[in-house]
Structure 1
């Protein structure tokens, strides 16, 4: 036990960890203002359509998941898709629902979507903006009402879209690498 000059034991609770982190550990990701929906650089938002964009927070290519904020600025049907892995959703603004469920997600709500579920995401009439933080493990397949595959999305397609967008808006394709794990 260490004792200082006055004979007292110093308070070690306020001393930073003094040993090295594990070898091979990846650096932290810190996204200042990560859920600031009204400020920040608008170029951070990657457009998917004229009314739908996403802001990446983590693109984990080594474990096959991503975390992003999906922002929708028009009412209507967004997509019908089947998940290959679990999804966690935290609604930050607005309202959305799935045609296949009775519940409606409002700001402050959380939803868990199990692997294998297929659903149709809708932003109801009268909603000017919906923003939801999604943690998606695996990917999802866009399908028609009878399950026929129409396309897919996963961490790799999100990364490619972010790189294309950041290059086009002058941030440089490598700007997306700040979200990589």
Structure 2
């Protein structure tokens, strides 16, 4: 905070966010696909960035996609891998995804639940098996998904505002 010439206080940066990452209220998890949810932690509209937990309670292919910017992930629970690589990200693993790489996220059969923290800037571009664009997500589509979901479950459309910066 600083004071201008008239003595009024002004904030130099948006307020911090401090929330319980894995919420007690299931309604905070926003459905994304069949048995796939995300929990917003921070939705930065100024830089096109979002941080969220991705929770998956099914095995198989989640999506084939790329990111035009780097992505950072940390596996909190369970495991997953990319079809295109021979590594497995499991509890405690850090994953760095370079910009432009196409990959297909898979959750193995013997994993009942996977939760991963992701820090994404830019967008997620969804692709079919021929690398044809079939959809995208960015911080604004994430906010829209949250508003609709929170309204429908009784938390109110503005519940998401606490995560928007």
Q: What TM-score does the superposition give when structure 1 sets the normalisation length? A: 0.84
Alignment of 1:1-181 (within 5 A): 23-31=11-19, 33-34=20-21, 36=22, 40-181=24-165
Unaligned runs of 5+ in 2: 4-8
How far residue 19 of structure 1 moved from its aligned partner, in angstroms, is 7.0
CA distance in 2, matches of 1:126, 1:70: 18
1:4 — aligned with what?
A: none
Superposed CA deviations along residues 32-86 of structure 1, whole A, max 9, x for unmatched, are x21x3xx511110000123000000000011001000000000010000011111
What is the deviation of 1:24?
3.7
CA distance in 2, matches of 1:30, 1:139: 24
Q: Distance in 1 between matches of 2:60 and 2:11?
A: 48
Secondary structure of 2:75's partner? strand
Q: Give the corresponding residue for 1:9.
A: none
Counterpart Cα distance in 1 of 2:146 and 2:96: 25
Mapped partners of 2:147, 2:11: distance in 1 = 29
C-alpha separation in 2, matches of 1:56 and 1:73: 18
Aligned equivalent of 2:6: none
How many angstroms apart in 2 are the aligned matches of 1:23 and 1:79? Answer: 40
User: How many aligned positions are there?
Assistant: 160
Q: Considering only aligned residues, what root-mean-square deviation do their CA atoms show, in Å?
A: 1.6
| Structure 1 residues not aligned, in runs of 5+ | 1-17
4+ runs deviating over 3 angstroms = 18-24
